[in-house]
Each structure stands twice: as structure tokens, then as C-alpha cells.
Amino acid sequence: MTNRFTRRRFVRVTGGVAAAASIAGPGLVRAAAADEAASGARHVNVIIIGGGLSGLMAGRELQKLGVDSFVVLEARERVGGRTLNMPIGGGHIVEVGGEWIGPGQNAIAALIAELRIGAFDHYYDGDTTYDIEGVISRGLLPDVSLSEAVDFGKVAWQLDRLSKKMPVGEPWRMPDAAALDRETLGNWLREHAATSFTPSVFRLISRAVWSGYPERISLLWVLHYLRSAGGLLPVILNDGGAQDQRIEGGSQVISQRMASDLGDRVLLGRPVLRIEDQASKRMRVVTSAETFTADRVIVAMAPADTAGIAFAPNLPKPRQDLVSGWARLPRLPLVKAAMLYERPFWRADGLNGAMQSDRSPIQLVFDNSPEDASMGVLSCFLSVVECPHLADRKLREEGLKEELARYFGPKALDATGYVEKDWAADPWSTGCITPLTPGVLTAGGEHLRRPSGRIFWAGTESAKRWCGYMDGAISAGARAAGEVHASLKG
Ligand SMILES: Cc1cc2nc3c(=O)[nH]c(=O)nc-3n(C[C@H](O)[C@H](O)[C@H](O)COP(=O)(O)OP(=O)(O)OC[C@H]3O[C@@H](n4cnc5c(N)ncnc54)[C@H](O)[C@@H]3O)c2cc1C
């Protein structure tokens, strides 16, 4: 990792010591200055670790609350975390990470309105393609018998009803939480479904939403996810659900715009290696390039990603269990790829470009063409472990074309380009989309957002609403900033 530290980029940071007086009081600031002089470390009120949506939102909120002395330390040489725009020519981009927003996602709606970033409807005119239990069908819904449809509806309703017993964002407080966390979604489906179709559709949902299989995913985690999103329908519906709209310019612009507002406070290429929170001393945050001191720290990333940071003293045992359990999870290595075409040819065939499958190497396909349809883009979610023959990038490009031709006809072979992002190979995003296995949530779930000393937790996984989504990342960042502000004042 390159060290991009320059004096110029720290002008605002060092100025922050003076600003700290208003928050921390003059005695503390004098002590800070003495510490700083002794150790050579720079002092700020608050250090935010992670320049994804959550960390940047925390900074934005701190500023609103009048805390000016802070920095955002980001490991990568870019902001945005799990959102990433990739150029595809003609001045267009395609998102290879987080992308869609939907109704009820009030935090992101408010933020983009404030940043004057627009959103537009995803293209869903025409038939969706389904590949379930080896049968390819097209339509609004998959081709099913009445008994299969009734069974799926009944099981979905039972799951939703069960999730409503959970206090929003607090799965550990649900009646029978421990038993539900020992259970897998797969087991529960076996007990409740009367047809093979219902588990197959849930397998499709589970691969798409949680990057994992029903046999491995904790039932309590699934219930928490659904509860935080307001139910199963908001999660699985494309049109009118969580995949309803796209962000103008691509979702990464939200982070880029927030970072630009925060200016020199955002420091790139700063992987944090160690956080020291010794009582009666200043907190110390050590990056690969330099050391900072601070009064409070916000860690804004997935629990699994915090495994790369050493904490002294150790975090409370349940928090450690949460992190180690999370980091060990068997998740589907996930690639989001985009096949590029001269035109969105499938639209003329009455297809909306969406495909969903319970067993194809491609889990999902979406028409991700630019709003003006000046070129065609099919975005695919691919689980590499399920298709070793597509493990290599070049093979993937060719193999994906053939897969797409099965669903959209031979024109799918005439691609003009291909881009992809392999999230499993990214050292800074082990969290990706999370399939929590049994036991992890009850072992340490309460510590998802409970502060550990002067360390506060953000990141979408700590959100009460829309946990796992961009919306959750934003609300979690704002919440952590509020907690820090209150703690500094207190
Ligand atoms: C393929 C894919 C598709 C998705 N689709 C959608 C979607 O359509 N809609 C939706 O709402 N959500 C979607 N998501 C989820 C969404 O992208 C995330 O919920 C959101 O971006 C998480 O933001 P965050 O700030 O909490 O975490 P992150 O974005 O992970 O940010 C954490 C930051 O911390 C940094 N970091 C890690 N370790 C260190 C360290 N030691 N020191 C310093 N910095 C560090 C990372 O580099 C990163 O920038 C998708 C995610 C993926 C991967």
C-alpha cells in the first residue's frame, strides 16, 4: 500500500486540535497538545475508520453536530467501499457493487436529495426469465402450478409473520432467539414447505440476497434481515422493492460527493493496523503510515473486516466472538460482472433483461443499460464456487456469454466488452453480503453496535433498518456520529 501522506493533506487535521477545545474542554486540549508534542502523533477529536458510505456519513453528521476535528482513514486509494463505478465507454459507468435503492429506504433517499443526486427507475418493462428446478420460463412470475404458488405464498407468509415477533434491529431479544439461531433456513423450509418448488425458490432468494445456501444460514439472521427491511416482499421485489431505482451517475458518486464535502479530512491509503484504548490515556490509532491520537473512534465497516485491526486492550469477548464467527463464514465468492452490447437487444424481444435462477452459475441478471439505452448492459451475479469452470476471468467472460445466450438468444454472444469485480479477491471487503451461519448472532449480536469503551461501531451490518444495504450503511453512520457527539459532550 502506498503512503500518500503529505503535510498539505493534514492542514485541517492539525487545525482540529484547536477546534477540539469547544468539545473536549481546554484542560483536555492542553493534555492533547502535550501528548502530541511528546509522541509526534497528530490529535483529532474523532477518527473514523472506513471511507465507505457509513464512515463518510458519520463524518458528515459529525460536522452537522459541530464536531469539526476529525479524519476519515480509508485503506483503499478510493472512497465508496462496497460501491464501485466502473467506466464502460461513451462516458457511461456500470456499478459492480451496491446499486439499487427502493421504497422505504428513507436514509439514502434523504441523503441523495441533500446531495442533489438523482435516481431513475430501473428498466423492468417486459418479461422476466426464470430458471427454476431446470425449467426456463418467462413472465411476470415463474411458470408454476396453483398448488406450488399457494405453498410458496403460505410459507412466505409464515416466515414474515415469524419475523414480526422480533424487535426491529434486536434479534437477540426475540422470544426463542437461541433456538432460532441454532436452526437453519433450510431445516425450517423442510418442515414448512409442502412442495419442492418452495425450497427451490428460497434457494434462489438465499443465493441472491445472502450469498449463501439455506442449509447453512441461520434462521434468526434471515428473520433479522427481513424484519429490518420491512418483510420478504420489499427484499425480493424488483419493481417496487429493493431493486426499484438506480442512482444517476452510479452509487459511488454518493461517497465521492460526501468525501469532496469533507475535503482534506478524508485520508486515502491509510489501512488502520491497531487501535489502543487505554484508560486515562489518549486513544492511539496506528496506520501503516503514521499514528494519530483521538478522543473517540468510529469503526465503519463489516464486523469481519475489523478482524484485520489489532485492539489493545482486547475487545469484550462477545464482540471478539462476533468478529471471528463472521470472518470464518463460508460465503459464496461473489463476482458482479457486466456484459456490454451495442444495444439492449432483448428489449425488442419483450424481455426486461432480468433472469433469476436457483442453480445456474449465474444467480441473477439485470438490464443495467444506461438510462438513455445508448448501449446494452447485462449485469450478472455469479458464484464462482458453484462453477469452477468459470474460475478464471477469461474463461468467465466466454462462459458467461454462453450462459446469457441460453436465456436471451444467440445475440448474447455478440458482446462488445466485459467488466467485472471479484469481491472475494478484495482484501478490504471480506464482509460483502453476509450469510450468517447458526450461532454467530446470539454469540455476539448485542455487540454489533454497543460501544466498546471509546470505540463506536458503524457499517451497514450494525443498522437497525435495511441492514446489509446502502441505506443501512448511511443510517448506521449517522447513528454512530450521534453517539460520539453525545459521549464527547457527556
Ligand atoms: C456485489 C454487491 C452488490 C450489492 N448490491 C446492493 C444493492 O443493490 N443495494 C444496496 O443497498 N446494497 C447493495 N450492496 C451492499 C452495499 O454495497 C453495502 O451495504 C454498503 O456499501 C456498505 O457500506 P459500509 O460503509 O457499511 O461498508 P463498506 O462499503 O465496506 O466500507 C468500509 C470501508 O472500510 C475500509 N476498510 C476496511 N478495513 C480497513 C482498515 N483496516 N483501515 C482503514 N479502512 C478500512 C474499506 O476499504 C471500505 O472502504 C451490494 C454489495 C455488493 C458487494
For domain 8-81+250-329+434-489, give the fold.
FAD/NAD(P)-binding domain (3.50.50)
How many angstroms separate the CA atoms of 346 and 373, rounded?
12
pLDDT band at 197 (very low <50, low <70, confident <90, very high): very high
- State the span(s) of the chain assigned CATH 3.50.50.60: 8-81+250-329+434-489
Structure letter (DSSP) for residue 373: -
Task: Find out whether 106 and 249 touch, Cβ atoms under 8 Å.
Answer: no
Other beta carbons less than 10 A from residue 381's beta carbon: 19
Grid cell at residue 448: 454489533
Q: Say if residue 37's pLDDT is above 90.
A: no
Structure letter (DSSP) for residue 101: B
- Compute the average pLDDT of residues 384-404: 85
Q: Which of 161, 129, 164 is nearest to 360 (CA)?
A: 129
Q: Which of 253, 250, 251, 285 is nearest to 271 (CA)?
A: 285
**Amino acid of residue 157:** W
Helix residue ranges, H only, 315-368: 317-327
- State the span(s) of the chain assigned CATH 1.10.405.10: 149-227
254 lines ligand 1 (CB under 6 A): no
How many angstroms separate the CA atoms of 147 and 160, rounded?
20
Superfamily of domain 149-227: Guanine Nucleotide Dissociation Inhibitor, domain 1 (1.10.405.10)
- Compute the average pLDDT of residues 260-268: 98
Given ligand 1 and candidates 3, 61, 82, which is best to mutate, with the most ligand atoms within 8 Å of its CB? 82
The minimum-distance atom of ligand 1 relative to the CA of 271 is 42
Distance (Å) from CA 82 to ligand 1 centroid: 3
Domain 85-125+243-248+331-425 architecture: Alpha-Beta Complex (3.90)
Cα distance between the two ends of the chain: 38
- Compute the average pLDDT of residues 153-175: 96
Grid cell at residue 428: 478490504
38-72 pLDDT, tens per residue?
Answer: 567 899 999 999 999 999 999 999 999 999 999 99
